[in-house]
Amino acid sequence: MIGLMIVAALGPLAGTAAAGCGARGRVAGWAASAGALVSLACAVWLLTAELHRAPLRGWAGYLYLDSLSCFFLLTVTAVTLLASVGSVAYLAAEEDAGHLSAFQVRLYYIFFGLFAALMLAALETGNLGALFVLIEASTLASAALVGLEARAASLEAAWKYVIISSFGVTIALAGTLFLYYSASGLHLAVEYRLAWPYLFSHAHALAPGSLRLAFLLAVVGYGTKVGLAPMHTWLPDAHAEAPSPASAMLSAALLNTGMYAIIRFLAITHARLGDAFPRAVLLTFGFLSIVIGVLFMIRRGNFKRLFAYSSVEHMGIIAVALGFGGLLGLYGALLQTLNHAIAKAVLFLTSGDVALRYKTREAAGVRGLLAAAPLTGGALLLGSFAVLGSPPFGVFLSELTIVRAGFASSSPVFPLLLLALLAIAFIAFARTTTGMLTGRPPDEPEHEPQLSASDPPSLAASARGGGLGEFQVALGGASAVQVAVEDPPADPLGDAHGNSLGEPPREGVLAAPYPGRAVGFAAVAPLLAGLVVLLVLGLWIPAGLDTVIRHCVAVMS
């Protein structure tokens, strides 16, 4: 089993190794996807095995795996797989368009694999000091992804991300040191004084004053990684400027890893101090995050920034659920973690397709998406409904559980406030995405003459098939000119240049930018898979997943 833990953490490095050896971008992308699939398979195997045995321990507590670790391991590996496959399509389109060089694409896969592997390793350690080191290292690896495009805005976002996140994690280090100090009265070997299982089992003997300060600093510090307000300021810029698959990893994997660290501190604090103090801290930061996220979602601008503020809101919802506590609160928090991760991965991957088609990340520049690209528009529509908590998707069930926990654990003021904020968020988010989906799609670029029956056969034969495409055709000794040709509908998964993706070409429709059938498939597959998972989780929670979450609740309480 220890071997499976190591393989699960090292799986994403397959893409890193391929890119480091000089493989082409698409080869490195498929290697990263294969490695992520192996990691997901290991996570499922470990989760199944962990239900019937004691937690796995090794290397003096540096390796530790219980039900809670397995649940987050499953969530992060699933997101990594979706983002890895989506990266193949997005990076291939960007490289084909000349927006990214081959070196930049290889650099992306090198740091993408490192980023994923460090997060998975953080979920598999039982030492809170090692947890700090691995989360800080993931910050440095992911910063390279944020600044990959090397534009002024992306470099600024990367520096802002590094500075604010590193400062926040330094505060978390201070919290870790105070936790170590609170255990100074225990007769434990030095290597076990930061081992979570031992601290949790001896929580009754920890110094309460130091522990109280340790928890507060941990929430502030790791809350910076989570995106809890007011430490969230790096998040909108980083999500907006990073390549869309990297944004999916930041929102759906990195934020959950930070929340995992907070939950570990919460379990120790709850065991020693009871409910009152951690509840007050989490409800304060949680509701502040929801309010900030909702307010900034009202403004219509960059749609990736909109999705980022939605992540701030959802992390606040999870913090509120942890504050409510009890079986319903903790169960709802974990279910919300999984549902939000899948929904936000789908939305950010969809945003990449939208940005590639419309050549903009501004919501005002996108209209008629459902008509121009039905598959992409449908994914955005369903993903938006899912993340907003509409039935029959999983987020509805998890948010309903959290609201029930609020009514069961306290006065109705907090759950009613939560419902009001969710309603405002629904209106603000739907207002922007509805404008993107509806209306008349923009026409194809003008000044491109259409081929007619009178054109020479050689000219028509030189055009490449698959929808409305641009071609360079030499006329005699003259310079090349651009022409466009309208062909019969392409194969459902795209032609040789991936220009259909299941959408018949028609005049005025923005062609899919993916160069190749396999690349076109890589753009579609994670969207469909993610939406199916969200639908299943909304209609039916599998018995195995229910058992896993209940085991996690037992660990947390």
Q: What is the pLDDT of residues 257-294, one digit of tens each?
A: 999 999 999 999 999 999 999 999 999 999 999 999 99
Over residues 174-182, mean pLDDT: 93
pLDDT confidence tier of residue 409, bands split at 50, 70 and 90:
confident
Is residue 77's pLDDT more than 90?
yes
Is 556 within 8 Å of 330 (Cβ atoms)? Answer: yes
Six-digit token pair at 552? 């996690």
Is 463 within 8 Å of 433 (Cβ atoms)? Answer: no
Pick from 12-21, 59-68, 320-329: least confident: 59-68
Six-digit token pair at 351? 């945003």
Angle CA 95–236–278, to nearest 5: 135
pLDDT confidence tier of residue 510, bands split at 50, 70 and 90:
low
Is residue 156's pLDDT more than 50?
yes
Omega before 515 within 30 of 0, i.e. cis: no
Is residue 511's pLDDT more than 90?
no
pLDDT at 492: 37
Q: Which amino acid is at 452?
A: S
pLDDT confidence tier of residue 505, bands split at 50, 70 and 90:
very low
Of 125, 126, 106, 264, the residue nearest 195 (C-alpha)? 126
What whole-number percentage of the chain has pLDDT above 90? 68
pLDDT confidence tier of residue 224, bands split at 50, 70 and 90:
very high
Per-state percent for the chain, helix, strand, coil, to nearest 5:
70, 5, 25
Is 89 within 8 Å of 523 (Cβ atoms)? Answer: yes
pLDDT confidence tier of residue 443, bands split at 50, 70 and 90:
low
pLDDT at 475: 32
DSSP 201-255: HTGGGS-HHHHHHHHHHHHHHHHHHHT-TTS-THHHHHHHHS-HHHHHHIIIIIH
Is residue 436's pLDDT more than 80?
yes
Is residue 468's pLDDT more than 80?
no
Over residues 483-493, mean pLDDT: 39
Residue 394 CA to residue 386 CA, distance in Å, equals: 7
pLDDT at 102: 93
pLDDT confidence tier of residue 2, bands split at 50, 70 and 90:
confident
Q: Which amino acid is at 394?
A: G
Over residues 519-534, mean pLDDT: 93
pLDDT confidence tier of residue 449, bands split at 50, 70 and 90:
very low
Question: pLDDT higher for 451 or 41?
Answer: 41
Is residue 10's pLDDT more than 50?
yes
DSSP 440-453: PPPPPPSS-PBP-T
User: pTM of the full predicted structure?
Assistant: 0.87
Over residues 154-163, mean pLDDT: 93
Residue-wise pLDDT for 139-154, tens only, equals 899 999 999 988 899 9
pLDDT at 310: 96
pLDDT at 442: 77
pLDDT confidence tier of residue 540, bands split at 50, 70 and 90:
confident
pLDDT confidence tier of residue 481, bands split at 50, 70 and 90:
very low
Pick from 32-41, 190-199, 359-368, 450-459: least confident: 450-459
Over residues 348-355, mean pLDDT: 94
Mean pLDDT of the chain: 86
